Structure 1
């Protein structure tokens, strides 16, 4: 936008810089439609009233712009054109400071005058009397006889005389309606060519540096030579400017053609999209029918299988019940005879019945009692592909079997550990293992994917502080790249990626007591899906959830738990698994209040006294792996759902003293810290 106004330029004050506040926007019924011509408002579509032009050359009524600005927040610094969405900067005065294209203003004046004078019998009232309230003695407005184009006013005889006496209006040209109707005065001469800054000055010069017309005062003040290149605003200058405009207009014709082609192509693509959507909708309806048909079929098959399963198991139970009742009747009689004959029978009677009674009682011994149905197989739902096109729809089919047992084959073994404990499998395939050697060496060992020792991190109290004993227990690699670990002392310790010690943190009990205040031991450690640390205090039996952030940790919550949280794992359902190999020897699934949701009981083949669960880890599908390091040593698999948990089986016995467990990112391998070695197992569904 320019400083002055003529048929070659806009007039506006200097626009201000957008300060980041909300910009104003104008909404019309159809912002993509051009106005009928240059003299109609792009918003209300009526003849422009007190017009203002935007930087995109579209013009609007000042009142329309002000009304739309009222819907925006205060302090707007720009507005969006409703026709083309181009942003126009606003000065501190808002839309009122916007200028108008002089040519558009003249065209609008010509249209307005032409419309007003078209009917010779129509009376045109003085607009000056209307504004000032200067009416005739009868109280009615006076009829206008002249028109001042500079002031945009219709004037009566009285106002015409007064207008000619004003010093500021002495250069204004007043024309009677008869002169205008006669055609003696070309409307093209009715151009406002006075300077907006200097009302009594005519625009006679042109600043080629700023591309604006100017008066003589502007030429020596705002556009002073030699900083600004000046020229007279004559026919030659106008012809030169017009030539440049026409050349650009001719060049833009190719752009207009291309835009029209793109619009036509866009319309064509929209029609194709509509047709494709309709076709896809038909396909989706067909898929819906197939889906419902398959679902109904699967439902009926599932009901049949369930009824068949129920009938089969019920028959077994009934047969078993009949046999048990028969055995009970036989046992009662045998016991009665045994008691009576030994108390009341003669030697001959005892000897005679001895063989039958002893045979019957031995045959009905506890060891020989058979229970055909010790427990019911679980009824679960396994997802299957329907094979339907376009949409990958899944149906649920009923399967009467336990989830598959995952067999594990050892594919790798490495490390030279003394007392390996926790392990973390990074996303890059490397391993971080907690290890301590007696009372002198305390390290995290970092191994490559191939099992090569890459580095060690000193966790001893001399390097990290915090107590005489400082052996490491569990370790995780946080998404921020820092390593966090727990151990014998009461702290969670943080290390940089290169292994340098950063800082240590205390856990806080639900009673707001710091772990370093009571010399607690923290051991269990895991990450939840949000990157929070889940830390187990085994001395006071509570779990803390902590959020690390730039060498600072925020305590989110803490909850007391029923067992010592020696090892911890997070489940995909945002619950927590804790295991204790020590006094309770148990594994629990708890929520974030500490409530026990499920207990992972030891397998039937493992007595409670030989159940020493250590490391635990959970897959995204709900498979939980538990290490048992005493008695029947091995890795055992459980299935945890939102509603239940059950034991699946033993995955492998190819371990001697398993502690920490960790799944690979793709969950196709399991890493086990087997005390002195790290063993990698490949997981296969049996």
Structure 2
């Protein structure tokens, strides 16, 4: 019966997972621990070094390839793994109850054998024979089990056994180990303490204090590893984002090439094929570079995980004396986080494009663009007070058909233009006083082409023909101790949730289309001159013109990033801001005597590069449905096209 019990699933798991040497695949014989915390038979280690250079004083772990110095006294002086030896002894000595001529009254749930004497683990509510219960208790570390026999008679709970049993000193075999010398990193007895460790520079402490200190040090090291894991995740997410953008840009470039090829198919097929191959090659080369960095980061993380797994296994199974014996090696292995640095990628390498030439020859279809650049496609309007003229273009927005609406904050007017810059209308068609603009600042357009304008304390709503519909007030009426509200930036997302910024109260309010409030976010960096945008990632991005900052918060008000804006070492006032479909951020900047241009940031706030220059005094800007960029440039409007 005992032999049957030994072949249960539980005992097989012990034999294969815990007590077999990875070299000989047999039960451990005199197991020894290497510096990497892997264990092997002494005989197997001896055979291993017999095959290597006899002058070598190190042994290489066959599992992880880490090196361990061979002690002067030989491999036998390596630390023994008492836990494995004890576990092997328990498995070997397992014996089941003797067979009885009487029929069994119950069945063991570990080995499925019918047994007369079956005990029940109340903690787990499972019936076991004596043999399986012994194995179960050792694997699960259940030291306090109340045992009830099969007919319901309760046995006494076994007395609690101290996890730490006194061990004898190796040097003074009649003395128990009672101190730990932090200076020598050794367990010592009373005689050792008196004769060998009594110098003033030896730091002796009681074993229980040293155990607490050791576990605390391991916990701190593991916490640092958690920070490394978070850093790895952040870098890995950034790389994935770059890969997605790269693939989008590669696909877009290929489509442009094919479109140009179709126009001049008879003359440019060969040139088109060469360009496609080159774009694909560039994409593959950069993609391989991204994958190489990502693979390197994964390898570093994998090695770190292996070390942590070994340490966690040791912390779970080793007794206190063994833990202190292994403390120097454990802490040495946990020092890896100091050198765990993850590589990043240049986000600018995600861009690739194509620019077709106006005059196409058989060998010259166009050129491949390996850096993101924008150029002015259309410019319209000028300074003045006539039709289609502006005193001060504060902000712009775009309808679904590509037509543009522009706000003139000096003349308190809205104007509309075609996508090619042709003037359509000026003013607002309103028969009431409410529809007139008094302090217009920001403008945006919803998915169904409703025009929203911030005007003093109110948001006013117009249709595509600029006919007044309604208005709502995001902030409450002024009460004692509060400032009067003054609305500035406004933006909508794809779900037509409206974000409105109040520079006096320093709040951003999020609304439904009917004006009802969703949430209110307070932030000290909301200033009088700034713009606001809502990204596809449910984040609010705004510029602090006066303090030269770019700020991002989520819909709950949690700050994602808050960065100072400087270009080439010069502080820059960022004003206009908008986001593309991927969540990347574009901002327009101003620096006296310096053309700071339009700059591209990724969704985490990392600067990618300057994508356009040549504008005067950048104000609000928005993306068109076709991906162009409309910019209010003080006295004119410019539409930029990505090359």
Shared fold, TM over 0.5: no
TM range (shorter): 0.3 to 0.5
Of the two structures, which has the highest relative contact order with CA contacts closer than 8 Å and spacing of 6 or more? Answer: 2
